[in-house]
Structure 1
Amino acid sequence: MPGERGTPPPLPPSLTLAGGASFYLAVGGLVLYGVVWAVGLNGWRVAKTRYGRAWAPSRLAALPPASVPGVTIIRPLCGLDSNLYNTLETVMQLEYPRYEVIFAFQDAGDEAIAVAQLLIKNYAHVDARIVINPAKVGVNPKVNNLMQPFAEAKYDLLWVIDSTVAVTDGTLGRMVDAWLGGGDVERTAEAGYTPPARGDVGLVHQVPIAVVYTSSWGSLIEQAFLNGNHAKMYLSINDVAVDSCVVGKSNMYSRANIAGLRTPSPSLRAAPDPPSGLAGFGPFMAEDNMIAMTLWRAGLKHAMTGDVALDFIGALSVRQYIDRRARWIRVRKVMVLPATLVEPFTESLLGSLVGSWALHRLFGLPQAAVFGASVLAWFLVDNSVRRNLSTNARHIGPQTSFATFAVAWAARELLALPVWLYAMVGSTVVWRGHRYRILASGEAKRVD
């Protein structure tokens, strides 16, 4: 019997081989759970303090045109996107004294040309024009679309906005404020303007939030994701600024800086005369992330304003939502594999499961109760984030009700892990009607 002479007493469960392993797993799980919550709560703090109020107009809005840097706004267009006239119209109504607008097309027969022509007619006082150029420098249609506008832009400052994105009237002035670091009026004069150098701000962007007019379950789930967990993490990562984290819905940068970038494409660098500048990003599907990352590594900081990029989401089926999320997971896994492997633990269900098990293993807390409380807290934080971000969007799009958001959020969380698993076992994506394979370098190769 245990305890008799010559028979050692049994070890406590925590000191057995299995018990010791589970103890250290629980410690690691609790640390991971704590880090994810810290990042999420920081994103919630940023949403509440920076976006939960209206912002005053930029000081630049009242200056004469000759006293501010000129900005070229480029809208790359292809087809009739959802709510197209209204989204494009927002850049014709900006409170900024010196800018031009270029509507960029690749096809002279594009249906959206008529929309751009109508806008130019209705806002004849705005310096705006249409550029059509079918040339292609890579598989990325957005890069192809931007080549001619980059060459023809009047100004060094370029603000590229996706066709589905609307902006508020004071956004441009506040972006230029952020670009200039908030100070030095002398530097605002075009005569004294120089492209940013290492240590300066070299990219200004906004957090994207989804606006849904035509409600479908796919679009509502996408909206719950973008306006909740995605926005929370996006704001937090950019707040601590340990690395580049940029979505290309609304980005401002310097043409001179882009022109000086060496292509990150291994296949292009192996060519006898590799392209530099924008053309060097043509092989990448996620050109926005690659440009931002290359600028970051060149020592140019990224900045954000208290504005949002209002992304009008058309009607999506649940299957279309799944394909959309899987596509970008497959892109990310070859670009930032460690972050993509950790991604499921930043979601409410798996993260709460790990956290509740760790707290039960280490402190004996009831696992089911801790799990339920964690998921509920996760939902409340995401709902608060989307409400604060919507402060900047109330006069542009309809507001989703609390009940609708709750159902869409729950559906998104239930789908998160299955979508991630589905994405991780494949390497091909369908993008704009064509099939591509994502290579280890992050480049896309058309396979259809």
Structure 2
Amino acid sequence: MGTVSLLVAIVALVLYVVIWAVCLLGWRTARIRYAHPTLPSRIASLPASSAPGVTIIRPLCGLDQNLYNTLESCMKLDYPKFEVIFALQDEKDEALPVVRMVMGKYPEVDAKVVINDEKIGVNPKVNNLISPFQEAKFDLLWVLDSTISVLPGTLARSIEAFLSNPTSYASPNDPESSPLLSISDDVRKPPTAGEVGLVHQVPIAVCYQKTWGSLIEQAYLNTTHAKMYLAINATAIDSCVVGKSNLYSRTNISTLTTPSPSLRRLANPPTGLVGFSPFLAEDNMIALSLWHELSLKHAMTPDVALDFLGSLTVRDYINRRVRWIRVRKKMTPLIATVLEPFTEMIVSGLYGSWAIRRLLGANVFPLFCIHVMIWLAVDLSTKKALETNVRGIGPLGSRLTFLVAWMAREVMALPIWLMAMTSSDVVWRGQKYRIIFSGEAIRLEER
């Protein structure tokens, strides 16, 4: 038994060190990339005739939190050539009057409303995007969720990240010219293998309605989620993308093979966006396909995607986390989901402290306390770095309230994971689905 416990302690200590290495990588990335004022991109100063055109798509459904301000943010971009498409599926949608107000305030912006009630799959966001994908003027598409607000310079910096590809853009008069200085949308080629094919931002949460559910969600998004998101993207070992703010080429998307086994069994399997309609997490699946099928890299900018949270109860928060764990466990290797609790603060602190005591004879309680204090310090530092360029957006928060919400998040992490592992059924927008092995969602009443 002594030998077994020694081996277990060694394995636990190695895992503990790995988890801390990932956490510190995420923290270091946040400090390096976000803890300084962002600089304007040179692309923002280009004439419209030289800048690549971008179509911004805002899929909408109902009155989301702070909707007017989130939609207005894409009308005030410091970029010379873009259009905005507001996409809805119902002409009676409550978001439409808000859209009209925003468009009326900015008549100089090339913007329009697209309403199409076509249903091609279980994912309402994909259904909402089909028509805008077809009607977009430009090949470059920037899809922004309805709750997301961005700073004026975000688009230009995103285009600059996309233009890190050496051959994506070239001047018709000087093919060897710098892509940052002379660009012609007419000769743009979509990125190819080895080049950047998707640009995204890390989401951070803003709470105007300070319910405990929204505060806990904010604590999660602005610390643990951001830290892990940045760390995984920094290693670039695989795709890790959420669909809050994604920039990519329509041409690239149109060539993607559907990852859906059920659609691939059809005589003529669909390609492009339609092929992702069976998935609730279509953003993740699109990013994975760009990464693996087309071998396109992903890039991030020193911008954040401001996610305005609505009024959430604690039950709403729990249901949201359970839902996405159940979706994710069918879309990623099982080992990743099984190991997830071991990456959390409390569980990792317990097995790490025990392993150190077993190997070195130290006392568990002070080790665990030190672990918690350092973890909290890293999370606070990460949160502060991410907020550097967006301070003043949203109401001021209480440090004590944040600490309570942060601790509640950590305490609930394991019970939420255990709850998520008991089933594969999820409720999304009032509809119940079952997530099957392939990651596809099936409406339960259709079974």
TM-score (norm 2): 0.95
Q: Which residue of 1 aligns with 2:25?
A: 42
Asked if 1:29 is matched to 2:12, the reply is: yes
Structure 2 match to 1:9: none
- Deviation per CA, 1:105-146, whole angstroms, max 9, x where unpaired? 011110111111111111000000000000111000000000
Amino acid at match of 1:241: A
Structure 1 equivalent of residue 307 of structure 2: 311
Where does residue 249 of structure 1 map in the other structure?
Answer: 244
User: Would you say 1:300 and 2:296 are equivalent positions?
Assistant: yes
Alignment correspondent of 1:6: none
Question: Partner amino acid for 2:199?
Answer: V
Aligned-partner Cα distance in 2 for 1:188–1:45: 34
Give 1:374's aligned residue: 371
After the TM superposition, which residues 286-297 of structure 1 pair with which residues of structure 2 at under 5 Å, given as runs?
A: 286-297=281-292
Give the counterpart of 2:360 among 359, 363, 379. 363
Partner of 2:151: 168
Q: Quote the offset at 1:401 in angstroms.
A: 2.5
Mapping of 1:388-407 within 5 angstroms? 388-407=385-404
Aligned residue identity for 1:394: R
Alpha-carbon separation, structure 2, partners of 1:186 and 1:58: 11
User: Structure 1 residue 226 and structure 2 residue 209: aligned?
Assistant: no
> What do residues 54-93 of structure 1 show as CA deviations (whole Å, max 9, x unaligned)?
1111101111001110000000000000110000000000
Match of 2:173 in 1: none
Amino acid at match of 1:329: I
Moved over 3 A (4+): none
1:95 aligns to what?
A: 78
Q: Deviations over 1:40-65 (max 9, x none)?
A: 00110111111011111110111100
1:422 to 408, 419, 422: 419
CA–CA distance in 1 between the matches of 2:3 and 2:396? 51
Q: How does 1:4-153 map to 2 (within 5 A)?
A: 18-153=1-136
Number of the residue aligned with 2:202: 207
- Residues 59 and 128 in structure 2, CA contact (< 8 A), matched pair in contact too: yes
* Letter paired with 2:356: L
Deviation at 1:197, TM superposition (A): 0.7
Tell me by how many angstroms 1:184 deviates. 2.5
In the alignment, structure 1 segments of 5+ residues that lack a partner are 1-17
2:160 paired residue number: 177
User: Are the equivalent residues in 2 in contact too, given 1:186–1:192 (CA < 8 A)?
Assistant: no
Give the superposition deviation at 1:191.
2.5
**In the alignment, is the contact (CA less than 8 A) between 2:12 and 2:351 conserved in 1?**
yes
Paired position in structure 2 for 1:15: none
Give secondary structure in 1 for the equivalent of 2:83: strand
Quote the offset at 1:277 in angstroms. 0.1
How many angstroms does 1:375 deviate by? 1.1
What residue is the counterpart of 1:159 in the other structure?
142
1:333 aligns with 2:350: no
1:119 and 1:402 map into 2 onto residues whose CA distance is 35
Deviation at 1:339, TM superposition (A): 1.0
Partner of 1:278: 273
Residue aligned with 1:56, SS: coil
Among 428, 433, 443, the alignment partner of 1:431 is: 428
Give me the whole-angstrom Cα distance separating, in 1, the residues matched to 2:397 and 2:14. 35
TM-score norm. by structure 1 comes to: 0.95
Q: CA RMSD in A?
A: 1.0
**2: CA distance, partners of 1:164 / 1:38:** 32
Matched residue type, 1:112: A
SS in 2 for 1:248: coil
Equivalent of residue 445 in structure 1, options 435, 442, 447: 442
- Give 1:396 shift: 2.1
Q: Secondary structure at the match of 1:47?
A: helix
Q: What is the aligned-residue identity percentage?
A: 60
Query: 2 CA distance for matches of 1:380 and 1:212?
Result: 22
Give the length in aligned residue pairs.
Answer: 431
CA–CA separation in structure 2 for the residues paired with 1:247 and 1:146: 16
**Cα displacement string for residues 126-184 of structure 1 (whole angstroms, at most 9, x for unaligned residues):** 00000000011100000000000000000000000000000001000000000001863
What secondary structure, in the 3-state scheme, does the structure 1 residue paired with 2:303 have? Answer: strand
The residue aligned with 1:10 is none
Give ranges in structure 2 of 5+ residues lacking alignment.
166-177
**Pair 1:43–1:128, CA change in 2 (3 A):** same
Pairwise CA distance, 1:187: 6.4
CA contact (8 A) 1:180 1:188 kept: no
1:143–1:281 contact (8 Å) kept in structure 2? yes
Q: Report what 2:171 is aligned to.
A: none
Contact 1:61 1:95 in 2 (8 A): yes
- Residues 180 and 187 in structure 1, CA contact (< 8 A), matched pair in contact too: no
CA deviation profile, 1:311-332 (whole Å, cap 9, x unmatched): 0000100001000000000011
Structure 2 contact 42–180 (Cα < 8 Å) conserved: no
| Bigger Cα Rg | 1
Tell me the SS of whatever aligns to 1:356: helix
SS of the residue aligned with 2:268?
coil
| Residue type of the alignment partner of 1:163 | S
Cα drift, residue 273 of structure 1? 1.2
Partner Cα distance (2:17, 2:442) in 1: 39
DSSP 3-state at the match of 2:49: helix
